[in-house]
Amino acid sequence: DAMVIQNPRYQVTQFGKPVTLSCSQTLNHNVMYWYQQKSSQAPKLLFHYYDKDFNNEADTPDNFQSRRPNTSFCFLDIRSPGLGDAAMYLCATSLGDEQETQYFGPGTRLLVL
């Protein structure tokens, strides 16, 4: 059963053309996260939502925005993608209690031409 779903799985965009990545979850988890993972690197947290509270990492570029219209959905907007934004984008969720296992979606691989 799919628990954390990301669409699309592969996204090709042009330099400077806005793109939106989607994440949905069937776990009813309170917390949703977006990570960026570049080739052969560790995932890097961009931001997360605890319910509707948005928490931005200090070093996340302004080019990256996020929306969480309801518990199930969270979006990552890249306003003006650059070549350096090509990466795998991972969405994750967690319940928000002491057992903080994060459950990751399959990821969206973004290619910027």
- For residue 7, the SS3 value is strand
Tell me the CA distances in angstroms from 20 to 68, 76, 98, 102, one per residue in order.
13, 6, 32, 22
76 touching other proteins, by CB under 8 A: no
Question: Binding pattern to other proteins, positions 34-73, x when CB under 8 A?
Answer: ------xxxxxx--x-x----x------------------
CA separation for the pair 61, 64 (Å, rounded): 6
For residue 107, the minimal CB distance to other proteins (Å) is 5
7 binds other proteins (CB under 8 A): no
Residues at the interface with other proteins (CB under 8 A): 30-31, 40-45, 48, 50, 55, 90, 92, 94, 96-107, 109
